[in-house]
């Protein structure tokens, strides 16, 4: 069954690419959500609606959690659950028209089975099927190697620097690592950890759709995904996120233990 679902998701992603590129040729309809910088566009909504209607048609028993609210009210992870972010990096989408991803995680009884991070503009699909490896398009991604702090490039959200505990957590960490990057799309940052372009990504508050797809891919490669204290994350709740190479993860956790 998973091979068939995988093939279908890939087809749907290619279809959405065509509509998204077409939509980018026209004026976007932009709204705000929780604050003036929390953007949402017609494309975020239409892309989620596309997936929800296709999933309902092909897999009526499956449940869907989607950022824009077109899915179901899901309170437990029993059965098959799709967790979808139709556009991750909406601010990039609006301002840069690049550096945004579609993120999908598919779980069975809480276990990640299929994960997808799709860079729509570059037509680069990062995906994993549990126990069968992770890929960038048709290329197999090698398992993640151990890493150390001194040579690490970490992804983080610059807003973290304003947090009350930054003086004892983020600031010392940023001094110790080789470099830091911020791309404005959690999905992209997970994809960069998966490919070794970055060694870790740290965020104080993400929603399940921001990390579900990425978690499945990075874990397939031996990477570790927890909250900042090193605890497992709940795929139905907001959480801080620390995703890193094996070995390096434990070292990074120490900065957030106090
Ligand atoms: C956002 C991006 C961003 C992260 C925010 C997310 P959205 O997702 O992943 O990198 O810092 O917390 O909300 O809203 O563009 O899908
Ligand atoms: Ca959003
Ligand atoms: Ca997101
Ligand atoms: Ca989104």
Q: Name the active-site residue from 88, 199, 219, 227.
A: 88
User: Is 85 annotated as ligand-binding?
Assistant: yes
> Which residue is listed with tokens 């911020």?
182
Label residue 109 exposed, middle or buried (CB < 10 Å: 0-12, 13-18, 19+): exposed
Pocket residues: Cβ below 6 A from ligand 1? 67, 85, 88-90, 157, 184-186, 203, 206, 210
What CA–CA distance (Å, rounded) separates 43 from 38?
15
67 marked ligand binding residue: yes
Q: Which ligand is nearest to the CA of 66?
A: 4
- Calculate how far, in angstroms, residue 179's C-alpha sits from the geometric centre of ligand 3: 24
List the shell of residues around ion ligand 4, using CB closer than 5 Å: 67, 85, 87-88
Span from the CA of 48 to the centroid of ligand 4 (angstroms): 9
Measured by CA distance, the residue closest to atom 12 of ligand 1 is 206
Q: What is the pLDDT along the chain (258 residues), one digit of tens a residue?
A: 899 999 999 999 999 999 999 999 999 999 999 999 999 999 999 999 999 999 999 999 999 999 999 999 999 999 999 999 999 999 999 999 999 999 999 999 999 999 999 999 999 999 999 999 999 999 999 999 999 999 999 999 988 888 888 999 999 999 999 999 999 999 999 999 999 999 999 999 999 999 999 999 999 999 999 999 999 999 999 999 999 999 999 999 999 986
| Catalytic position from the list 199, 210, 220, 227 | 210
Fold of the CATH domain 2-140: Fructose-1,6-Bisphosphatase; Chain A, domain 1 (3.30.540)
Helix (H, G, I), strand (E, B) or coil at 229: coil
β-bridge partners, 183 = none
Please check if 88 is assigned to a binding site. Answer: yes
Domain residue spans of the chain: 2-140, 153-256
| CA distance linking residue 222 with residue 241, whole number of Å | 16
pTM, entire model:
0.98
> What DSSP assignment string belongs to 102-127?
EEEEEEETTEEEEEEEEETTTTEEEE
User: Which segments within the chain are labelled E, that is strand?
Assistant: 30-32, 39-41, 63-66, 80-88, 101-108, 111-119, 124-129, 134-136, 139-140, 153-156, 179-181, 200-206, 224-226, 239-244
- Report the complex ipTM: 0.98
67 is catalytic: yes
Ligand 1, atom nearest to 159 Cα: 11
- Residue 68, marked binder: no
Nearest CA residue ID for atom 1, ligand 1: 89
Q: Kindly report the CATH number that applies to the domain delimited by 153-256.
A: 3.40.190.80
Residue whose CB lies within 8 A of the most ligand 1 atoms, among 41, 85, 88, for a mutation test = 88
């Amino acid at each position: 069954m998973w091979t068939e679902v995988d093939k279908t998701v890939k087809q749907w992603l290619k279809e959405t690419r065509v509509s998204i590129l077409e939509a980018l040729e026209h004026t976007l309809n932009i709204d705000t959500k929780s604050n003036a910088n929390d953007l949402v566009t017609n494309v975020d909504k239409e892309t989620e609606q596309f997936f929800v209607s296709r999933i309902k048609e092909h897999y009526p028993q499956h449940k869907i959690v989607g950022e824009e609210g077109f899915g179901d009210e899901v309170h437990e992870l029993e059965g098959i659950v799709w967790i979808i972010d139709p556009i991750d990096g909406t601010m990039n989408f609006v301002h840069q028209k690049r550096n945004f991803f579609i993120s999908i995680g598919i779980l069975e009884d809480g276990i990640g089975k299929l994960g997808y991070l799709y860079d729509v503009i570059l037509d680069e699909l990062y995906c994993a099927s549990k126990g069968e490896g992770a890929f960038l398009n048709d290329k197999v991604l090698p398992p993640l190697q151990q890493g150390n702090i001194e040579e690490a490039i970490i992804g983080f959200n610059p807003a973290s620097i304003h947090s009350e505990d930054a003086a004892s957590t983020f600031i010392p960490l940023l001094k110790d690592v080789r470099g830091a990057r911020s791309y404005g799309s959690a999905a992209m940052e997970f994809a960069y950890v998966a490919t070794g372009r970055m060694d870790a990504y740290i965020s104080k508050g993400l929603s399940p759709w921001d990390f579900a797809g990425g978690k499945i891919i990075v874990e397939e490669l031996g990477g570790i995904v927890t909250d900042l204290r090193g605890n497992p994350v709940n795929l139905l709740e907001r959480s801080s996120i620390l995703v890193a190479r094996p070995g390096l993860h434990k070292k990074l956790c120490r900065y957030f233990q106090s």
